[in-house]
Amino acid sequence: MKKTNLVLFAVICALVITTVTSNVFAVTYVSNPYGYNCAIVDVDTSTYLTGFYFSYTQSAVNSWNACGLTSRSISTSTSSPNKIIQSSESASWFGLHEPIDYNTANAQTRTYFTSRFRIILNTRTLSNSLIQRTACHELGHALGLGHNDNETDPGRTIMRSSGLAEETPQTYDKNAVNYLWPNW
């Protein structure tokens, strides 16, 4: 009887821990507003970027592709409607992910991320040392991640809105994208 109760207690604890951990992770960090699986985020990194902006942004793309995402990748193509541009803006922000179109009516069998976006890298505020971090952070938004400024969350993340100097996606970011976009 004691052994049965102990086993039952262990099973219930494991289920509660799994449920609480999964729900907290999903609610506090990621969102899938599009409601479908997509394999590729396609973006134009070469038409509107020059010099350091191009090379550091390409490094940001490569770091997302190398971090261990299970079924996501970022592809670069000059024909992509999604653009990363460098521009001198009067605002004080470093980078901006700007959704352009939420219409998914013309989706092609769920292969490409159909929501259009533009990422602006602010040349007035960015130093060379911040370009890759900012591009990587903004690409995280393109993958569906939000800001994570909750200091109680475990680990380091590229998705904090300020304060950390991460230049590449961290384990927490990779896990968030993999949770958000399961390998169906």
Report if residue 138 sits inside a domain. Answer: yes
* pLDDT > 90? residue 121: yes
Contact partners, residue 80, CB within 8 Å, separation at least 6: 42, 43, 44
Domain holding 79, by residue range, is: 29-181
Instruction: Tell me how crowded residue 166 is: count the other CB atoms within 10 A of its CB.
Output: 17
Q: What is the pLDDT of residues 21-35, one digit of tens each?
A: 332 322 223 344 444
Q: What's the rounded Cα separation, in Å, for the pair 93 and 97?
A: 11
Specify the pLDDT at position 180. 82
CATH number at 64 reads 3.40.390.10
Give the total number of structural domains in the chain: 1
- Is 14 a domain residue? no
Length of the chain: 184
- C-alpha to C-alpha distance for 59 and 115, rounded to whole angstroms: 23
In this structure, which amino acid lies at residue 121? L
Per-residue pLDDT of 58-82, as tens digits, reads 999 999 999 988 878 898 999 888 9
Is the pLDDT assigned to residue 53 strictly greater than 80? yes
Tokens standing for residue 121: 């890298």
pLDDT at 86: 97
Residue 99 lies in a domain: yes
Q: What is the pLDDT of residue 99?
A: 83
